[in-house]
Structure 1
Amino acid sequence: MSSTELPSVPAVTVTPKVSTVRVASGEKLRSVGLPGVTLNLRSRPPARPGLPPALYVHGLGGSSQNWSALMPLLDGLVDSEALDLPGFGDSPPPDDGDYSLTGHARVVIRYLDSAGRGPVHLFGNSMGGAVATRVAAVRPDLVRTLTLVSPALPEIRAQRTAWPTALLAVPGVAALFTRYTRGWSAEQRVRGVTALCYGDPSSVTPEGFRNAVEEMERRLALPYFWDAMARSARGIVNAYTLGGQHGLWRQAERVLAPTLLVYGGRDQLVSYRMAQRAARAFRESRLLTLPDAGHVAMMEHPETVATAFRELLADTGELAEAGATGARS
């Protein structure tokens, strides 16, 4: 993939969002229309004018809500905005049905170009980490820093606990799984996801669990839910097979932005052993390992991730720049 494959496209509509999607205190939702795709965006009012922008990209099966615990902790550092990738959260499917990693990266770049928000502090989790890596590699002008939480980069030997997710990429498996699990309640599904993604599932509060169940019920009612999951999983698997300049590890080596890597010791989807390889691949990187965290450290340990991000800004001079920008505004 080259930068010429990811064209700049102006936004055509921006409207307030009225939805049943849960909105945390201080958050706002809005829709942005781009040619062929409509994106739901979750944002927080900046603590002061002039703060540098940040964009957060969720993982497979996730949504912009996955960043709601971290974003308020960064209110004084960045102007936060999280998107729902097409087919996830409250964003409808893309018109062209493209759920590949390249397709998702293209959407992120189109949004940043149309909004004029770049360069941003770019965050990505899991699949969103792979998407963010690709964006940073092909459009370095759009990325100030890169923060990757359990990025879905290729592994030669994936953990057995990650196989069911990969199997969703096989044609027909999603439909088979849907039939097999037809009798499962939303509560049962959330318990399964929590056990898979959290290092300590008991850390989820009763309120957080209830909210997750409500969101699961809403999304299961969407006619495209499983299609978006299966096609995006297929996109990850296909990206893993690419070699040469299009390979994700090769693109990681091309990233110029200072990079914070966050890995959890109890991650059942992205192996903890990949942390050192990632630290070597990204040329200007720092590594935060959390032995007790699972796949979603920004939800389990948001304060720790926020502290590490602040240190990244301080060490790269971005923290002083953000303060100076705010003072001038």
Structure 2
Amino acid sequence: MPEVRRARRRPPAPPSIAPSSTARLSTAPLPVPGAPPDAWPGEELAVSGGTVYVRTTPWAGPPGAPRERALYVHGLGGASTNWTDLAALLAVRCAGWAVDLPGFGRSQPPTGGSYSIRGHVRAVVEVLEHVRDQPGDGQGGPVHLLGNSLGGLVSLLVAARRPDLVASLTLVSPAMPVYRVPQAFSRALLLLLLPGVPGVAERRLAGVTPEQSVRGMLQMCFGEPGRVPPERIDAAVAETRERARQEWANRALTRSMRGLITSYLRVGRANAWRLARALRMPTLVVWGDRDRLVDPRLAPRLAAAVPDARLLVLETVGHVAMLEAPEETARAVLGLLEDLDAGDRRSAAEAGDDDEPEARAG
């Protein structure tokens, strides 16, 4: 198991922001590791501007365990299958829904052709409302929201816009606004802001084979690519081959990248860093110290910005901790939810103590 540590160099938090705390790892029993599970089944869900594909992971907890709900949001170029392993572990507490953002995975492209961050936010809000309203335990209540990379930024914006829908927030290497291009990226990506350039990028991507795409993804996203199980590599190649048959696949990638970069230019009240400081739900920030796409030095900064957030930094892990270190990530999420339970019980007990003298007086 990778050691859990805090970042070696932590920028000082602004005076008005309390330092974050280290994530607590739950000791709850988890499913015994075995062969990587197959991708969970799913179905299409109508949202404004089209349909999205949503996979579901059934609750699998022991008798008497909490039965809650979680929604998982993937990153740029990813899909709902990025969450297969983590959803299987968190099923001891949460039934799971994992969405393919518009134009990704098995989701259709948005009817308007826009891949803006705001469009992805709208889609996730509607999926959250769908998850909330499903019959059964937890119906009508807020949902635990987990996002990675682009999906992490989208999840943060969703939580800021609709806090009533979000019970807790887990951000795995979220693509927070930065103004320096990561070394793993070509500076040519900034050209996506220019009219006509995304079309050129789409044609170049069309010439990349599924095997080349997966090899590049492993090198860019994983801290230790050699540790990826062969089954996961084979599944990624098959999924990439399926996606290559979609005429909109490369357009979704390049236009979403353009939408992400454009969102970084947003200032004022809509800026993601400012919105992070206003979050009030329990929040966990997870990062790998070998993340080549989003600078790990942002981890303590974000955890300090969100009030009372917890921080988990994993050694030898890259950009996709839910794929590289699913057990450690799951235990940190479960620790957050268990402590949320304990806080609710304390609040209920304190409320009961406050009511007791009044009850006797009556």
Aligned partner of residue 53 in structure 1, secondary structure: strand
State how far apart, in whole Å, the 2-side matches of 1:304 and 1:170 are. Answer: 41
Question: How far did residue 306 of structure 1 move?
Answer: 0.5
Q: Distance in 2 between matches of 1:167 and 1:217?
A: 27
What is the deviation of 1:313? Answer: 1.1
Q: 1:179 to 1:231 in 2, by over 3 A?
A: closer
**Hey, what does 1:14 align to over in structure 2?**
none
RMSD, aligned CA: 2.2
2:212 is the counterpart of 1:188? yes
Q: Which amino acid aligns with 1:151?
A: P
For 2:132, the equivalent position in structure 1 comes to 116
Q: Structure 2 CA distance, aligned partners of 1:186 and 1:122?
A: 30
Moved more, 312-321 or 63-72: 312-321
Q: Deviation of residue 157 (structure 1)?
A: 2.3
How far the C-alpha of 1:170 sits from its partner, in A, is 4.4
Which residue number in structure 2 is paired with residue 283 of structure 1?
307
* Residue number in structure 2 paired with 1:140: 163
Structure with more contact order per residue of length (Cα contacts < 8 Å, sep ≥ 6):
2
TM-score normalized with structure 2 length: 0.77
Tell me the residue number matched to 2:53: 40
% identity of equivalent residues: 43
Match of 1:310 in 2: 334
SS in 2 for 1:116: helix
2:87 is equivalent to residue 71 of structure 1: yes
For 1:58, the equivalent position in structure 2 comes to 74
- Is the 1:124–1:130 Cα contact (8 Å) retained in structure 2? yes
Q: Write out per-residue CA displacement over residues 207-266 of structure 1, whole angstroms, 9 at most, x where no aligned residue.
A: 211111111111112110111111111111111111111001011111111111011111
CA offsets 1:136-172 (integer angstroms, 9 cap, x no match): 0011100010000000001132322134655545444
How many residues get paired? 299
- In 1, Cα distance between the equivalents of 2:80 and 2:193? 23
- 1:199-210 to structure 2, matched below 5 A, reads 199-210=223-234
Q: 1:182 to 1:116 in 2, by over 3 A?
A: closer
Match of 2:32 in 1: none
Check 1:304–1:175 CA distance in 2 against 1; reply closer, same or farther (3 A cut): same
Cα distance in 2 between the residues matched to 1:319 and 1:212: 40
- TM-score of the two chains, using structure 1 as the length reference: 0.85
- 1:219 aligned to 2:235? no
Structure 2 unmatched runs, 5+: 1-35, 134-140, 346-362
Q: Are residue 249 (structure 1) and residue 273 (structure 2) matched?
A: yes
Preserved CA contact (<8 Å) 1:265 1:294: yes
Instruction: Compute the displacement of 1:34 (Å).
Output: 2.7
The one-character-per-residue Cα deviations of 1:23-49 (angstroms, maximum 9, x if unpaired) are: 954822111123422111111111259
Contact 2:47/2:127 (8 A) holds in 1 = yes
Give the aligned partner of residue 256 of structure 2: 232
Q: What are structure 1's unaligned runs of at least 5 residues? A: 1-22, 322-329
**Offset of 1:116 from its aligned partner?**
3.1
What's the counterpart of residue 18 of structure 1?
none
Q: Could you say what secondary structure the match of 2:144 adopts?
A: strand
Paired with 2:243 and 2:343, the residues of 1 have a C-alpha distance of 38
Tell me if 1:98 matches 2:114: yes
Query: Does the 8 A contact of 2:279 with 2:306 survive in 1?
Result: yes
1:147-158, aligned counterparts within 5 Å? 147-158=170-181
**CA-CA distance at 1:178 after TM superposition:** 4.3
Q: Which has the larger radius of gyration?
A: 2
